[in-house]
Amino acid sequence: MVKLIFNYLVFPGFLFSAVIGLLACWLERKVSARLQWRVGPPWYQNFADIIKLTGKEIIVPSTMRRTFLLAPYLGLLGLVLATTILGGAARLSLGGFTGDLIVVIYLFIMPAISLIIGASASGNPLASVGASREMKLVLAYELPLILSIITVIIKAAGAIRLEQIVFYQVSYGSFIFSFSGAIAFVVALICIQAKIGLAPFDISEAEQELMAGVLIEYSGLPLAIYKLNKAILLYALPLFLTILFLAKDLSPLFIIGKFLLIWLVIFLIKNTNPRLRIDQAMRFFWGPVTLLAIAGVILAILGK
């Protein structure tokens, strides 16, 4: 029981994920600042922001108060479970279970669902617009993301356990070094950009249009939880990509290098692309991205 609590709350669960995620947020802000010829914040800035928000007043709408307050914790719970499962697969030590890949896919949807629920419960018109955009965006990127994961399952001889996928790559090489694996990786990378909510897919928040959109009514601790959810996504989703496509060597040094490379690509995409409209994002995901994902599935079936 003590070991289980340690895994969920310390390593590789909540505490470890939160620290790495907040450091990733600092790195994103630092890279963005350098690209814009600014200095950027110190490394502890995101930690200070979270601590500051926990001491701020919580303003709650008069309608659906419980739903509004509980929604952030729904996303956090899903992420803690997902990072614990992924951390166990990366260390090959916690012992996966049949279908844990499918469970992780479902858990990663929970932060978006919590945003939709919380924004809808706030009663704010701008939050409702943000929730509508978030729903459409989820429907858009989940299809190509699932197709890219199907490519991985095909290449791993039908394995749906994360540890089996890792062992397969340790034995035969990382999937990214095949045609179908490279295509699936590119598709998944684009999809996680939208899942994290970074430009050009930061459509549901859109500060210049919706004044934070889905988060407009949040303050204090609930807002801190949402900020923390986004930070943990910046750790969990690159780890997910690493396990699915780059699991030939998961030693600490190689994992850090892979993380930095994936983060760099994510941050460059964020800083070099303007925000899309929701209709443009949906056409993009249901059009070229889905077609590319289908091509990856076909090539995987052909053994390429």
Residue 5: per-residue pLDDT: 58
* Angstrom distance (rounded) from CA 105 to CA 145: 10
Residue 96: per-residue pLDDT: 64
Supply 22's token pair: 């907040």
Along the chain (304 residues), what's the average pLDDT of each consecutive run of 10 residues?
58 84 94 90 95 92 88 94 86 65 94 95 92 96 97 94 91 94 97 95 88 91 95 95 91 88 93 93 96 97 91
Supply 240's token pair: 């997910």
Residue 50: per-residue pLDDT: 95
* Angstrom distance (rounded) from CA 216 to CA 201: 18
Cα angle at 106 between 100 and 109, to 5 degrees? 145
* Angstrom distance (rounded) from CA 139 to CA 163: 28
Closest CA to 219 of 22, 103, 57, 71: 57
Cα angle at 25 between 20 and 30, to 5 degrees? 120
* Angstrom distance (rounded) from CA 226 to CA 50: 10
Supply 82's token pair: 């997902």
* Angstrom distance (rounded) from CA 23 to CA 172: 33
R_g over Cα of the chain: 19
Residue 6: per-residue pLDDT: 57
Residue 92: per-residue pLDDT: 56
Residue 231: per-residue pLDDT: 96
Residue 211: per-residue pLDDT: 84
